[in-house]
A and B are shown apart, each in its own frame.
Chain A
Amino acid sequence: MSRSSSRIPATSQELIDRGKPVHFEFQGRRIEAYEGDTVSSALSAFRVDIHSRSFKYHRPRGLLCVAGRCPNCLMTVDGVPNVRTCTAPVRENMQVITQNAWPSTEHDALSIFDRLDRLMPVGFYYKALHKPKFLWELARPIIRRIAGLGSVDIASDGGPASYHSNAHTDVAVIGGGPAGMSAALSAAEAGADVTLIDDQALPGGHLLTEIREHADLSAMSGHEIAADLRDKVNAHPQISVMSNSSVFGLYQGNLLAIQTGRDALNLRAKHVVMATGTFEVPHQFQNNDLPGIMLTSGALRLARLWGIAPGKTVVVSTKDDSGYWAALNLADAGIAVSAVLDDRLEPENSLVELVRSAKIEAFAGQTVLSARGAKRVKSITVASPNGEKRNIACDLVCMSGEWQAASGLLLQSHEAEVNHDGTVKDLRAAGVSVAGSIAGAHSLSIIFASGRLAGNQAAIASGFKVAKEDSADTTFSVTSHQTAEATTTALKKSFVCFCEDVSTKDIAIAVTEGFGDVQTLKRYTTSTMGPCQGKMCHKAFVEVAALNLGLNVQAVGATTSRPPAQPVPLGTLAGPNHMPRKRSPLHHVHDLLGAEIVELGPWLRPHNYGSPQNEALAVRNRVGLIDVSTLGKLDVRGPDAGALLDRVYTHRFSNLRKGHIRYGLLCSETGSIMDDGTVTRMDDDRYFVSTTTGNVDAIEDWFNWWLAGTGLDVSVTNVTAAWGAINVAGPRARETLAKLTDVDLSPDAFDYMRTAQGDVAGVPSIFLRIGFVGETGWELHFPAEYAEHLWNAVMEAGSEYGISPFGLEAQRILRLEKGHIIVNQDTDAVTDPLSAGMRWAVRFDKPDFIGRAGLAATRGRDRDQALVGFVTDDGFVPEDGLCIVTNGEPVGRITSSRLSPTRGVGFGLAWVPHGMARDGTRIAIQSGRNEWPATVITEPLYDPEGLRLRT
């Protein structure tokens, strides 16, 4: 870029380090900035005037607030849209592009809409595009494309995840200005832990740019006072400072939602001090949005914090004393200020003398009527008290003295009330104190007093004592800003709402159309509803509405404040994936074996080790080994353990003999299947319960819920992570394990559905002889620490028999051949055991169990559907979930389907109408447009008598 820099000589309070250049790309052009610059300050240094194009009319917009509040500097940074570039620090090689303009913000063809405003009055599409109906459908995509903000790159992965954290503090102080810092110090001095949250790079608030001395306080200038306070705050061990962080929500119990960088913090405070201050807001005149028309605080920030001359010929338009001080400040920075135009008829004489002595003209009773200029302001038209109008040439207009309380967050408190006179209700009972200019304190000494008072109140409210002379009951007088009567007439290009391009005329039209209530007026005009959320416009909106309605502002009221007070990226709200990843103690082994890992609930499990079919055949023909550590395991102990299990399971367990295992089915109160597993009686008062993978937490809660308040003497301990488990199954399983243990595994000594305890390869283990996969096999449970040793020992022992590890998929095939269900795969939320063909697992002779009443009520009735097996013709393997059809109408559905490795046929489980649940019934499966024939089977495909698993 060939433009010369607008940097002014370095000053002591600037945030940039001129010795450390940083380079980034703006619209493909390389820009040199300094460390400490923001994107906007760097662009301003290169005299980029137009930072964005407006939402509706595509009008050029330049920097306005330079504090992260207004919508004027939104750009796309490194693919992230709508970044407030005035607070975004520069980083080496960052990519910055402008938004909502074609071909560029500098030359935007769409600015034609600025001339077509007649066609697009407020609410135009409600009026013009509602009939005929198709018109809106036609217009909508076009309107959405040309009006708006940046666009989200949907191909992007969103970059690194945002993190959420939680914290507690005694006192949270929101706002790092003089009031906030003094509140933080006095609360901390009383002993409270304080968190100070400030949305700027450096605490100090408006003092950061102030150079005048405050003789009543010290001989120091404003920014020196800020630095002094900042040092004290930073040095205090009980204050932690969060800069560049914005509080966007104030929730019940003083829970603060804070965005800090990409991350979110939920901070719980015993007491909150609101020291959010006031914003300067724009004045109303024709073309008040031209680049070069800025809030005075913004111009001062550019000059003082980043060493930039925001203009060459400057006019300050003010409604109070602050404009005079600002003019002197700019002049001191070497920027030529030609005049101070005071809206008031009788300004403070001493100030007028002061600016005149600095060779700045000062005029009273001046009203800015309009501004002119194409891409930047060139001149303004001003009316004098005698009605005379004149033009003043300038390239920067600073708007001073129109203040709006930063109350967006405060008003989220349900206790808060809006008072347009600047007073604030006492909210101490709700856990909130206010300090500084939001509380109506404007002179620095009173700001400090109110900060100390609020800090003391906060300390007392969070349980600390304050010294007597620092009593929290001190009162101080509050000076309210004089608010000039709004006199604005309806002007087409006098913008109230910069975000949504709503002018004073739009509000006047809406009022004449009958929108007399501030809430409906807001929704119809969309004023205050843009990215700034009313920060730049709420006051003007209410005042202009009041003027048009013929009411005073108090009667008009205010719009409702809701979170977020500041826009927050959705990614930050969503946060990281909080699903915990659980790994089996054998995870490392599976990785070494090259397993394909899948997520199953919170667990990572091996899906296969190469070929599920071969793994399944290894189990059928030789011996296989699977990691089942992820099974839920509960240790249920106590004299009443049997009574608890009888209560929650459909089966009976109090009569289960020691050393025996029984299948267990859990139902909800309505009788739907919730979970299944095995229950093993280890001892008289001890049961070992397994649940399905991923369900153990819910089952633990379920057991404890039915225990709560019953007085039963039982303890339920979740031992899922403490115990590893493997299942060794297949015709050679016995020979494999026999090499590693003294436990007698012979068929006569160790029957099916029995348990024993003993060492395996030196590891103390529980043997459960069960058969989910339908072969002779033992599930071994052992301390998780020994899992890898035991796995390796079994693999070695089985090597001579051709042992193979098998994964989840092989297990699913094997169990399907046996017709064993998987809860939630073959059942759903309304499946009961009777319709699933598991009548054998339900003991109606028990007087009560959870779900008995629901099952008993429907016991005698035929179910509409039944779960059956099926075998397809022609080797067709349907996908899980396909429909069973009769005459093209769906009548049932497939829940599981696989290719049988032993029979080479497609088969599975399906829900079919009751009448079809007979062996040999022909059914049709719909896949795409084809129907595939299949035959119902009511017995397992493999080993229907169950001989193999009993051998």
Chain B
Amino acid sequence: MAFLLNCPNCGARNVYDFRFGGEVLTRPEPEADNDVLTEYLYFRENADGEQREWWNHTMGCRKWFVATRNTHTNEVLSTQWPDDPIAESDW
């Protein structure tokens, strides 16, 4: 694994400069039932293909952003701030 990741703040950097934050999840409502909570806390999609995931530029600006990456080829399709509207083409 040696690909480059494009930090929206700093630009393309070695992936080792970043910390992986896992799949982007939707946090359930606090009063959600146990099945939903269990799903959220303990189960992951582990996609073989495109995945939206959190990354933190720990060795740089220390900001969190969202990348869409193909987990099979490590091709990074896009990176964006978490509050950026997600382009139609990214879905």
Chain A CB within 8 A of B69 CB: no
A251 is an interface residue with CB less than 8 A from chain B = yes
Rounded to whole Å, the gap between the CB of A644 and the closest CB of chain B is 14
- Whether A704 contacts B14 by the Cβ 8 Å rule is no
CA distance A414 to B20 in the complex (A): 25
What are the residues of chain B within 8 A of A847 when measuring CB–CB? Answer: 30
Over the window 827-863 of chain A, the binary record of Cβ atoms lying under 8 Å from chain B Cβ atoms (1 yes, 0 no) is: 0000000000000000000011000111011000000
- Judging by beta carbons under 8 Å apart, are A701 and B30 in contact? no
CA distance A797 to B32 in the complex (A): 58
Of A253, A701, A708, A854, which contacts B58 at CB under 8 A?
A701
Tell whether, in the assembled complex, residue B14 and residue A166 are in contact, meaning their CB atoms are under 8 Å apart.
yes
Q: A705-B21, A709-B81, A709-B82 in contact; A854/B41 too (CB < 8 A)? A: yes
CB distance from B12 to the nearest CB of A (A): 10
A700 and B83 alpha carbons, distance in the complex (Å): 19
> Which residue of A697, A709, A847, A852 has the most chain B CB atoms within 10 A of its CB atom?
A709
Please tell me if the beta carbons of A708 and B64 are within 8 angstroms of each other in the complex: yes
Indicate if A669 sits at the interface (CB-CB under 8 A): yes
Q: Annotate B41-57 by CB proximity to A: 1 below 8 A, 0 otherwise.
A: 10000000000001010
Looking at the complex, which one of A669, A700, A708 makes contact with B41 (CB distance below 8 Å)? Answer: A669
| Cβ contact within 8 Å between B1 and A252 | yes
Size bracket, chain A contacts: 20 to 34
Give 1 or 0 for each of A741-761: 1 = CB within 8 Å of chain B CB: 000000000000000000000
Pick from B3, B21, B32, B64 the residue with the most CB of A within 10 Å.
B64
B20: min CB distance to chain A, Å: 12
Report the minimal beta-carbon distance from B77 to chain A, rounded to whole angstroms: 15
Cβ-neighbour of A670 out of B32, B41, B62, B63 (below 8 A): B41
Query: Which residues of chain B in 33-91 are interfacial with respect to chain A, using CB atoms and an 8 Å cutoff?
Result: 34, 37, 40-41, 54, 56, 58, 62-65, 74, 81-83
Chain B 16-33 residues near chain A, CB threshold 8 A:
19, 21, 28, 30, 32
1/0 per position for A699-730, CB-CB distance to B under 8 A?
A: 01100110011010000000000000000000
Given A253-B2, A669-B41, A711-B83, are A853 and B30 also a contact pair (CB < 8 Å)? Answer: yes
**A61 interface residue, CB < 8 Å from B?**
no
CB contact between B37 and one of A697, A704, A853 (< 8 Å): that residue: A853
Please tell me which one of the listed residues A700, A852, A856, A857 contacts residue B62 in the complex, with CB atoms under 8 A apart. Answer: A700
Which chain B residues lie closer than 8 Å to A266 at the CB level?
A: 14
Query: Which of these, B3, B41, B82, contacts A253 with CB under 8 Å?
Result: B3
Residues of A within 8 A of B19 (CB): 701
Partner of B64, one of A255, A669, A705, A711: A705
Q: Which residue of A lies closest to B54 (CB)?
A: A705
**What's the nearest-Cβ distance from chain A to residue B51, in Å?**
17
Question: Apart from A252-B1, A853-B28, what 13 extra A-B contacts exist at CB < 8 Å?
Answer: A166-B14, A252-B74, A255-B2, A266-B14, A268-B4, A701-B58, A704-B62, A705-B64, A708-B63, A708-B64, A711-B83, A847-B30, A852-B30
Interface set of B (CB-CB < 8 Å, partner A) = 1-4, 14, 19, 21, 28, 30, 32, 34, 37, 40-41, 54, 56, 58, 62-65, 74, 81-83
A to B CB contacts below 8 Å, 16 in the list: A252-B74, A253-B2, A253-B3, A669-B40, A669-B41, A697-B58, A700-B62, A701-B56, A701-B62, A704-B63, A705-B21, A705-B54, A705-B64, A708-B64, A709-B82, A853-B32
